[in-house]
Amino acid sequence: MNLLRTLVVLAACSGCLTAASKIAPELERLDTAAAADVIVQFRDGVTAGVHERIAASGGVLRRSLDLIHGAHYQIPAARLAELALDPEIEFIHPNRAVEASDFSGTMDYGWMSTLGLTSNTQALPWNGRGIGVAVIDSGIGNHPDILGRVVYNQSFVPNEGSNDQYGHGTHVAGLIGGSGSMSTGWNDFYTVRGIAPSVNLINLKALDLNGQGTDSQVIAAIQAAVALQSRYNIRVINLSLGRPVVGPYANDPLCQAVQQAWKAGIVVVVAAGNQGRNNSAGTYGYGTIAAPGNSPYVITVGAMNSAGTLSRIDDKMTSYSSKGPTAFDLIVKPDLVAPGNQVASLLQSGSTLDKSYPGNAAPTSAYSYKGGSSGSEYFQLSGTSMAAPIVSGAAALLLQQNPRWTPDQVKALLMLTADKTFPAASTQAVPGFTTATDPVTGTVYTSYYDIFTVGAGYVDIAAALGSKVDPPAGLSALSPSATVNAATGAVTLVIANNIVWGSNIVWGSNIVWGSNVLLGSNIVWGSNIVWGSTTASGFNIVWGSNIVWGSSADVTEATPLTVNGEQ
């Protein structure tokens, strides 16, 4: 596959939305007799006058979304063109569907040690105490491991309370802040505990009993997190959900919402998506990052497979983890990767996932030396939905350690200290990749360790907490974009002004990627593609000529693709 071709395919989508139109293309195809479920954005914020004009056209206000200068309405489709002529209306979006990502696998305890941590909470100098983490998901259940630390509950799902009927949000919450109280363990490594076991959790339910929601529900939940920020010291938002990218991030209401939260001082962590095996566009899974993970502000996280061992050396990239660059904008994503394959966390008994995948319940004998339990307390799932809360927990620990840090400082340090020494594929004739074979279809998937697959590297929480680097405050940590020279095929990272990245922080020649790193002459991009010979800010990034990123194989999960697992 040629990178130039991939970037051209992705960039070509930028012409899909015309500047002259104020109505998203999906809405133009609606039956005029239908009712349109829409998000309307306004030039100067919501006013009583525009509400009245929309009501006069048959529109019904469902929810105000002041965070993005908009509101959620039900409007007759036949009246949309007329409303688009209103000078106060900026754009009319469909209320697009979002969903969680989760699947099955066997129990994996190795991820805690992989991150440089043990399961012994007494051994950790930082535990997240006093930090609020907003979990925007399918709700949070009443599990003993988070008892007393779910300090706020609110549902944005019609006709459903804040309890977790799907089972996804509880699992995510446990990865962030589960205490392990129900996991007696044969030893420390077999205790099922979250990254920051003393954080406070803010339950903002935006996904229903089937793991589905809408843009308006997620935006309303983000808006609530910003409003509750001071009351509960909300410093982190976790979004283990997403949907396809439909246009440039600057025009996407979901991306606008996470950007506002980031600017309000909240670290936003987003799952990359699980479309890394999707070759429907001929890009071999490149360009499949989900929204709002395509925002350059947020920390977007891909999934690694820790192979169920306590060592990092055999960890591998999952083939289903979505890869960059982002559609339309060509933003370099993901920013980081973290364990996300067959990860054990809290079980919400009786939930949709519990009923659908009873085999995912962890056997009591695996985490309790007492035995005799009538039912499991823990459950295993795979996906970037599981990798994101690992990083959210890491952010909470860093913010406990450095309470004055901005989201940009947290992002910069996590990327700076991420492990970049992926294992070499010594069994391969050409190093730098391994394959995963679907046992049912026989399809072979290949993963590479390039910048669009692993970002700045594999999150290393112990290294981040032990770092003496103090990223400069007041600068941005926007993810860079990529551009390719059509004549030479050279790829350049475009880094804007006032950015924390530089020769001494993350994207520098000897800091992140090292001086000897190249994507290889015959691996994926071809013999002439060397990452970033120069950048917009003027310094050179030297990738060298001899080292290719690591190896890969995985057990799999993916939605909405139908993919079978392998051991």
pTM recorded for the entire structure = 0.86
Q: Which of 137, 252, 335, 354 is catalytic?
A: 137
Average pLDDT over every residue of 341-346: 90
User: With pLDDT > 90 as the criterion, what percentage of the chain qualifies?
Assistant: 55
- pLDDT digits 0-9 by tens, 185-206: 555 556 788 999 999 999 999 9
Q: Which of 72, 93, 143, 168 is catalytic?
A: 168
Average pLDDT value for the chain: 79
- The tokens describing 414, both together, are 């996590």
Query: Degrees (nearest 5) of the Cα angle 535, 419, 367?
Result: 145
User: What does the pLDDT read at residue 443?
Assistant: 84
Q: Helix, strand, or coil here: 239? A: strand
- pLDDT digits 0-9 by tens, 200-249: 999 999 999 999 999 999 999 999 999 999 999 999 999 999 999 999 99
Say whether pLDDT at 312 is over 90: no
The neighbour count for residue 511, using CB atoms within 10 Å, is 19
Select from 129, 196, 103, 100 the least CA-distant residue to 395: 196
User: What does the pLDDT read at residue 103?
Assistant: 47
For residue 191, give every residue at least 6 positions away whose Cβ sits within 8 Å of its Cβ, in sequence order, or none.
119, 120, 180, 183, 184, 185, 367
Say whether pLDDT at 122 is over 50: no
pLDDT band at 113 (very low <50, low <70, confident <90, very high): very low
Catalytic annotation present for 240: no
Catalytic annotation present for 171: no
User: What does the pLDDT read at residue 475?
Assistant: 87
User: What does the pLDDT read at residue 121?
Assistant: 43
Beta strands 89-94 and 60-65 are unpaired
- pLDDT digits 0-9 by tens, 164-192: 999 999 999 999 999 988 887 555 556 78
Say whether pLDDT at 550 is over 80: no
Catalytic annotation present for 168: yes
Query: Degrees (nearest 5) of the Cα angle 351, 355, 360?
Result: 100
User: What does the pLDDT read at residue 504?
Assistant: 37
Say whether pLDDT at 18 is over 70: no
User: What does the pLDDT read at residue 76?
Assistant: 96
Residue with tokens 């529109």: 59
Higher pLDDT: 94 or 531? It is 94
Higher pLDDT: 370 or 96? It is 96
User: What does the pLDDT read at residue 116?
Assistant: 52
pLDDT band at 281 (very low <50, low <70, confident <90, very high): confident
Residue with tokens 């990123």: 549
Q: Which of 155, 216, 319, 385 is catalytic?
A: 385
User: What does the pLDDT read at residue 291?
Assistant: 98
129 burial type by CB count under 10 A (0-12 exposed, 13-18 middle, 19+ buried): middle
Average pLDDT over every residue of 287-293: 96
